[in-house]
Amino acid sequence: MAARSIRSTCAPIRRWFVSDLIAMRRLDLHPARNLRNPQRHLRALSRWPERIIEQLPTPEQCAGARFWNFKIPVYAKLVDPPHATPGMQRACIATIFAAAEAIDRSPRRPANCRVACLVSTPPLFQSEVTLFFDDDYFRTFLPREEGQRSYYEGGWVEDEPAEAGDISGIMPPAPPGMDFHGGALLRQYDPAWGPKPVESTTWVWAFDFS
């Protein structure tokens, strides 16, 4: 169970960006500083749905792959607490939706895949658009009906279905044809991380496999 839970909330590792989008994706190295001109960053992010088509893999690159993903190209401060506002997070999720819709409607869309959005909270920085070529693998990201916990030396990890109301305040309308599959809440405890478990949730939206 532990391996499945960690995979369910940790984003796939393959990343492909054109150079200007790579420059936009930055970790927060100075957490105390405010992000200058967040509206400018949101305007830059709004162009992502147009540019993501240029990054689509070729049939040769897709061969044998279970997935192909595109991390949201932003500064962490734009999407993560404590700097991100609910309005900024909602705008970023709307752009993730728009990028997924652009792929699903594009004539360059790879065949035999499912276009999905994996949105992580409370930090949105790990959110992404993912092409799943293996539908069984896609289903490992969906929430279980009941939670489970597994123990390892010194700690434990558990997952359970998340409450949809937890994301309702920042959730924009989904594009037509893209279904909401709920969220998987992951708790991980390790004394090296502090006295409290670390929580994160992965929310899943997806178009049909085609």
Query: What are 70-111's pLDDT values in tens digits?
Result: 999 988 888 888 889 999 999 999 999 999 999 999 999 999
Structural domains counted in the chain: 1
The C-alpha atoms of residue 179 and residue 49 are separated, in whole angstroms, by 19
117 forms beta bridges with 129, 205
The C-alpha atoms of residue 95 and residue 101 are separated, in whole angstroms, by 10
Share of the chain above pLDDT 90, in %: 70
Confidence of residue 35 (pLDDT cuts 50, 70, 90): confident
Check whether 2 has a pLDDT greater than 70: no
Average confidence score pLDDT of the chain = 86
The C-alpha atoms of residue 209 and residue 114 are separated, in whole angstroms, by 4
* CA nearest to 42, candidates 122, 124, 117: 124
Beta-strand ranges (E) seen in 85-134 are: 114-121, 128-132
User: Which residues, 6 or more positions from 63, have their beta carbon under 8 angstroms from its beta carbon?
Assistant: none
pTM of the model: 0.82
Residue 98 contacts residue 173 (beta carbons within 8 Å):
no
Q: Which of 27-36, 121-130, 190-199 has the lowest mean pLDDT?
A: 27-36
Check whether 18 has a pLDDT greater than 60: no
Burial 106-128 (b: 16+ CB within 10 A, else e): eeebbeebbbbbbbbbbebbbbb
- The three-state secondary structure class of 92 is helix
Q: What is the pLDDT of residues 162-199, one digit of tens each?
A: 999 999 999 999 999 999 999 999 999 999 889 999 99
Average pLDDT of the segment spanning 45-66: 95
Domain range spanning residue 35? 2-206
The C-alpha atoms of residue 178 and residue 97 are separated, in whole angstroms, by 9
- The three-state secondary structure class of 141 is coil
Check whether 52 has a pLDDT greater than 70: yes
Confidence of residue 31 (pLDDT cuts 50, 70, 90): low
Backbone φ/ψ region at 5: left (φ over 0), alpha (ψ -120 to 50), beta:
alpha
Confidence of residue 32 (pLDDT cuts 50, 70, 90): low
Q: How many Å is the maximal CA-CA distance in the chain?
A: 51
Confidence of residue 157 (pLDDT cuts 50, 70, 90): very high
Check whether 10 has a pLDDT greater than 60: no
Greater model confidence, 6 or 193: 193
